[in-house]
A and B are shown apart, each in its own frame.
Chain A
């Protein structure tokens, strides 16, 4: 909540912003390509701007684009967005003790604006939740500084991408950069053998079941991968928590 000067005045706000500036370039470039990808896929400029400002979640936006264009039913798009965003559910469990001292609207505003990088930097800086009022204020200011930089660079570059996209010929295929961003996100999630397997099973199922109506091949891919991994866990006595690096 960088609009509150009471937060901006604290030194931790500036420290958080400074720490984050190292990744602002990468976030901005990803934002730029997401902006280009939305328009290049056939969304109108107004829709692209609305999506940028409201959704503010790069991987779920990029996953939703081909589904929106294919005219998949709303529930499939929302369910896909939910699954892509499931990592945030894990983050929210971690962030709960850091934010619970605030009123609901305030902690939800922080929650909405805290994406992957801000979460990673914030929890690295503060391994323990705040113990007193001074720490509460300092941690809130640091988190706000973090996501102010991420949000700012994402929004500026994303909107720039939306506005410039029509100047770039369709035949260059720059929308593929959006797929490449998701390749990086998939690779970053494929941290255990079972997760790598889950990715391949889901991908293969989605290809094999492509003819299903309503883009249900995505849902089928997720379902088959999760169930098969459950079964493998049981067959081989694997413990997903022990395999996990988190």
Chain B
């Protein structure tokens, strides 16, 4: 996420966005699209326990601990402390808003102030 803010529109990205919209409809309506009742095979049911949390963790953990494709080699990175503060807040108090604010309250001074 390091590209500048002057993005241009391209049709491939728009096609992927339409595809993601279809994914939203498919997942939110999954079991009531068809009229007849049906279930999932057993292995898929079991995968539902782990796949969602695994998917999100696989996306965000590299965003927190990597820079330009390499594991960061310094502790002076504001993202580590911001994410830790956010997670700590979540397990105390719950809530997305509070997690974001707590994380940013730690991240911004370190990132903007110290340049970490």
Which A residues have a C-beta under 8 Å from some C-beta of B?
Answer: 25-26, 29-30, 33, 37, 39-47, 50-51, 54-57, 59-69, 74, 77-78, 80-93, 95-96, 99-100, 104, 107-108, 111-112, 114-115, 165-166, 170-177, 179-190, 192, 194-195, 198-207, 210-211, 217-218, 220-222, 225-226, 229-230, 233, 240, 244
Contact = CB atoms under 8 A, between A and B. Distances in A.
B5, B79, B112: residue with the most chain A Cβ atoms closer than 10 Å: B5
B111 A43 contact: no
B41 interface: no
A198 B51 CA distance: 8
Given A55-B17, A56-B24, A198-B50, A177 B104 contact: yes
A124 to B, nearest CB: 16
B33, B56, B62, B66: residue with the most chain A Cβ atoms closer than 10 Å: B56
B114 interface: no
A89 B33 CA distance: 11
A112 B29 contact: yes
Interface of B: 1, 3-9, 12-21, 23-33, 35, 37, 43, 46-66, 69, 71, 78-79, 82-83, 86-87, 90-91, 94-97, 99-100, 103-104, 107-108, 111-112
A114 B29 CA distance: 9
Contacts of A188: 90, 94
Given A59-B56, A222-B58, A46 B25 contact: no
A184 to B, nearest CB: 4
Contacts of B27: 82, 85-86, 88-89, 92
Q: Is the interface of A mostly helix, strand, loop or mixed?
A: helix
Contact of B16 (A78, A115, A176): A78
Given A69-B1, A190-B53, A88 B58 contact: no
23 contacts: A25-B97, A39-B5, A47-B9, A55-B21, A61-B20, A66-B1, A78-B23, A80-B59, A86-B55, A173-B78, A173-B108, A174-B104, A176-B107, A183-B83, A183-B99, A185-B56, A186-B60, A189-B52, A199-B56, A200-B57, A201-B54, A202-B58, A233-B46
Contacts of A174: 104
B86 to A, nearest CB: 5
A46, A47, A60, A202: residue with the most chain B Cβ atoms closer than 10 Å: A202
A186 B83 CA distance: 12
A77 B28 contact: no
